[in-house]
Amino acid sequence: MIIDQPTRPATLSELDHLSQVLAEAFTEDPLFSWLLPDESKRPLQLFRFFGLELGRRTFRAGDVWTGDRTDGASLELPSDRWQLSPRDQAILAPSLMRLFRSRLPQATALRGAIEKLHPVEAHYYIPYVGVSPSAQGQGLGTALVGRTCARCDREGFPAYLEATSERSAELFSRLGFEHLRSFNIGNSPPIWPMRRPPQ
């Protein structure tokens, strides 16, 4: 796979900055707009959410990829470490309750559906990939996802993710991801699980 934009592993010292980048990237995302409907609070809620995702999960259990200007991030987890441990779930519970408040039932139902549909085969999981709006359309998202795709090709494993917008699903399709069965949570926007076989 050709990766045009330079990418590198992110470091824990970049956690706050990358949390902000991901918050900006997902501010208008259909699924997060449904989960966090208050537009005035959503940027801070997303910043806190991605801080938890990066700090409590991905930097500990997987890899975080970014660009030279740290204006994008892709999270990567191996299939045996993508779920939070019971201890981490208990530690995170109060923070998630404060973050989602009245939308906690929807967030909990969404996580349950994602876990139920998650593949059991060995794979690499990309839970989130996002690029700052000012840097979109320049190939960085493709390059970031390409790091995981290239790893999967080398090691002979599939890659798996859930697309939360038609635009992102189109990007992933161009990278070789194939649609599985889409699903909704109540009146949520559609979520598209996608799998890319090793090439």
User: How, if at all, do strands 124-126 and 159-163 pair?
Assistant: parallel
Rounded Cα gap, residues 132 and 116, in angstroms: 31
| Domains of the chain, first to last | 7-196 (3.40.630.30)
Residue range 18-30: mean pLDDT, rounded = 98
Rounded Cα gap, residues 31 and 11, in angstroms: 28
Residue 2 has a pLDDT of 45
* Residue 77 pLDDT grade (very low, low, confident, very high; cuts 50, 70, 90): very high
Residue whose entry in the numeric block shows the structure tokens 């926007």 = 189
User: What is the pTM assigned to this prediction?
Assistant: 0.94
